[in-house]
Amino acid sequence: MSKVIVITGGSGGIGAELAHQLAPAGHSFVLGARRVAELQKVAADAERLGAGRAVPLVGDVTVREDVDRLRDVALETFGRIDVWVNNAGRGITRSVLDLTEADFDEMMAVNVKSALYGMQAVVPHFMQRGEGHLINITSFLGRVPLASFRSAYNAAKAALNALTANLRVDLQAKYPNIHVSTVMPGIVLTEFARNAGSEAPGAPRPSSPMRPQSVEEAVATMVELIEHPRAELYTNPASQKIALRYFDDVEAFEKTAGTPSA
């Protein structure tokens, strides 16, 4: 059955690829982002690939009114929302001691508050319907500090992990057909790193278990998640085992973090 899917950060990277991979199944989309030409192209490509309809909507997810407008346009156009994907985000290359207040505030606004606005916009609609699927794209780095030079980004994604888990617990007893999923990509080959600033020493090496994934590989796991919802998804098969090792002995793991064996 085709779904109505809202995707933030839909003009490139994971958001655009998600629309492209889902389009052949006939789903319809409302795609939000700030870049007009890129967003319009993603929407046109999705329709060419088989989407029922793809509506591009320019806006800034750090502005609550713009996020609410995504919901309102989806409901006005399609009458319902089945899946909402909080994908918009941005990184930064700063160690903890080099962070400014502005750096930290920006990371929280773009990566956490924007998703909070999305949750507060769509979940009441899901509750009214008694069903729906919220997907928050966070990061493996919000759980394991393998790239400390992304400090404020990692902190923001850790906060989003916590908000997502708390919402899931709040809903599960009364609304068993509302699914809340945390998706944690590892290193994905998109324009994200360029926007976050230059790469820094200490990044997991390609030869390590945390090898980079193509955006197509990472998104394919998310397509499967939409068909078969679950609480958490690591897009990289190596991630869960690494996370378990980290929490089994945090001190020992951190002593070797960033080395090929980590």
Q: Got the DSSP string for 166-224?
A: HHHHHHHTT-TTEEEEEEE--SEESTHHHHH-S--TTPPPTTSSS--EEHHHHHHHHHH
Calpha distance 52→54 (Å, rounded): 7
Q: How many residues does the chain have?
A: 262
Residues recognised as catalytic? 153
61 close to 113: Cβ distance less than 8 angstroms? no
